[in-house]
Structure 1
Amino acid sequence: MPFRKHWLPILRDLSHAFQRSMIEHLPRQIVPKVHYCTEYDQVISDYGPAIKQWSMRYESYHFYFKKIALRTNNYKNLQKTLATRYRLKQAFSSFKMTQLNHNDQAIKIQKIKNNIFNNEMKCAIISHFGNIDMSKDLLQCHKFRYENIEYCRSSVYIISLMNLTETPKFVQVVNIIKLTHKWWLLVDMLATIGYDDKLCAWEIKSMDKYDLLDPCSMKYYYKGLDIYEIDNSTFVAFTARLTLH
């Protein structure tokens, strides 16, 4: 759920209460993190959600390099040793991971029933494919992977950026359908209302405009996003900055 700015005073009071409790009851177990947590409200206010500053992945990678440095006992050109070992590890992992193969992969393939599409969706499908028997000619799947990019039903994706303002254009994948040997994304073309500073999220709205997109020719900007309903409005939590150049 998106973090709300009016929660920050509550977070500040709780963090200070926690620090006082540690000083009173466990003074010998106080570590620097006990003090750092009292600064979280100001950090979140200045730089956005704390999850965007999560450093556990860095610590994980740093542990790997530190372990290699201790085992190799090479101190003349340590940077080259670490880079070489890591590149060999990446090559081995890429060879073993089947999802990195340049193949299409559909997960949980099912037949389609006519009643799952509303009139607007049917019009978009007929406009794209022509007159077809949807229950016989089409198949659907829950997830579709193309060149290590995964598209999931109900997820929201960025397909482009608006000129000048560089505002993201969002679509929601309603269904993933297949005709003959080709998979297509049936998407709801969402309208971007604006960015909410209090929620650190983009407000979007469905206009019931549907289209079919080719996942093999789409430009990939970001992973699938989740939708949140707040006060009869719809938001996607996305704080990264994307640019046209």
Structure 2
Amino acid sequence: MHDILEGVGKLECKLVLRHLIHEEKLFTLDLLNQRLSSFSYGFVDMKNKPSLISASTLLNEDSSFKNSASQMWCFIRYLPLIIGDQIPRGNQYWELLILLRRVMDIAFAREVTESMIGHLRYHLEDHHTLFKKLFPARDLTPKHHFLVHYPFMIEKVGPLINCWCMRYEAKHAIAKCLATVVGNFKDIAKTVAERHQISQCHRWYTHGVGQNPVIRNPVKQLIRETEGCATLLGKFPNLCEVDEIVVNKSISLHGTEYRSGMSVNIGVQDCMPSFGKLIDMYCIGSDIYLFGTMWETHGFDDHFYAYEVLSRYPVEFFLIKQDELRSYQPLQVVSSYDEQRKELLYISLRSAAVLTGRINEHMLIGPRIC
């Protein structure tokens, strides 16, 4: 959080964007801000929508960037899809941001293999070397140096995202807000503690300690009336067409919101991640199943740093439980344009994934550019 999202990421995004806008003149700041405001971030990232960039912020020599850590995470992940069509392939300044994405994908990964640690070392070396080549007047910051220790720390404590301070600061933010608005400073620690206990009691009473599913606007339907009738009957032979099940368009499972139209990472097919688009959520007994149509993964585009997906014909459906997903985090399908201005659909993963015991080579293994 502090090293990348509030440090190296802010500095390098500012330097690279300033060069592409004012030196190479590949696009304008107005175009970038227009696309930032109109980009489809989806339900998951809408609350982290990055702020617009002012001319004064871009021209400042410091590393300030008017975005929080969560906004910067969203900004860096989606920047290739937002403005990548304006940048020619092979641009070395753009490659610096792609190298930063490779580093982030391993640093933010929830599963890390030994080979991923080796790739992280190479990517850090390439990234720091390219930074000094492109910006020789700039010194590497202490946060650049902290990144060098990441491979060693992963070997010692495992995935770094399990011990990053984003969650601690999010929890602490509630106490800071309370301390500001309560207005009682005689024993502020006791006041904040009591309010926290009341909040936790309400949450546990409402949803249960085990994070029971939160179902919104459930509708009972006969199986024959659902879009997944054939899939349901094929998976559950004991069901019949006249049985009733609960159908939902939105549901929260273990704190993660799933809605119709979102995409999920289902598994692996032909050494590529397979994705699906959610249509409905079915409640069968005490189990929740996600139902939708499969995307066809066309390939990984290193320039946009995302997977290109296509609608699959003939249509193929999936029915899967949350714990069977390759990643529990829902994803957003966004559109972008290639060099011929052809509109394509892309899915950008939040971090690197381990595919069938191997790393996701399409994301992590790139040409050595230094």
TM-score normalised to structure 1 length:
0.57
How far did residue 116 of structure 1 move?
5.1
Aligned to 2:345: 234
Q: 2:283 aligns with which of 178, 181, 202?
A: 178
**Matches for 1:57-206 after TM superposition, within 5 Å:** 96-97=202-203, 98=206, 101-102=209-210, 103-112=212-221, 114=224, 117=227, 121-130=228-237, 132-134=239-241, 136-161=243-268, 167-206=272-311
Distance 1:238 1:219 in 2: 14
> Could you tell me whether the CA contact under 8 Å between 1:169 and 1:191 is conserved in 2?
yes
| Structure-2 change in CA distance of 1:130 and 1:161 (3 Å) | closer
Aligned to 1:72: none
Q: Tell me how many residue pairs correspond in the alignment.
A: 200
How far did residue 148 of structure 1 move?
2.0
The SS at the match of 1:112 is strand
Identical positions, percent = 15
> Could you tell me whether the CA contact under 8 Å between 2:249 and 2:279 is conserved in 1?
no
Distance 2:58 2:343 in 1: 38
Distance 2:197 2:354 in 1: 30
The SS at the match of 1:126 is helix
- Alignment-mate amino acid for residue 57 of structure 2: K
Distance 1:238 1:33 in 2: 29
- Alignment-mate amino acid for residue 231 of structure 2: A
Aligned to 2:28: 11
| Structure-2 change in CA distance of 1:47 and 1:136 (3 Å) | same
Distance 2:278 2:28 in 1: 36
The SS at the match of 1:47 is helix
| Structure-2 change in CA distance of 1:88 and 1:240 (3 Å) | farther
How far did residue 110 of structure 1 move?
0.9
Segments of 5+ residues of structure 1 without an aligned counterpart are 16-29, 68-86
| Structure-2 change in CA distance of 1:142 and 1:88 (3 Å) | same
| Structure-2 change in CA distance of 1:94 and 1:125 (3 Å) | same
> Could you tell me whether the CA contact under 8 Å between 1:112 and 1:134 is conserved in 2?
no
Deviations 1:119-173 (A, max 9, x none): xx4322221123745464222012222222332222111133568x5x4321222
> Could you tell me whether the CA contact under 8 Å between 1:112 and 1:135 is conserved in 2?
no
How far did residue 115 of structure 1 move?
5.3
Aligned-residue CA RMSD (Å): 5.0
Distance 1:234 1:157 in 2: 15
Segments of 5+ residues of structure 2 without an aligned counterpart are 1-16, 33-53, 66-75, 80-93, 105-165, 180-192, 337-341, 358-370
Distance 1:161 1:92 in 2: 44
Distance 2:218 2:252 in 1: 13
The structure that is helix-richer by fraction is 2
How far did residue 180 of structure 1 move?
3.8
Distance 2:31 2:309 in 1: 33
How far did residue 96 of structure 1 move?
4.7
Aligned to 1:33: 57
| Structure-2 change in CA distance of 1:110 and 1:240 (3 Å) | same
Aligned to 1:22: none
TM-score normalised to structure 2 length:
0.40
> Could you tell me whether the CA contact under 8 Å between 1:100 and 1:147 is conserved in 2?
no
The structure with the larger Rg is: 1
| Structure-2 change in CA distance of 1:183 and 1:243 (3 Å) | closer
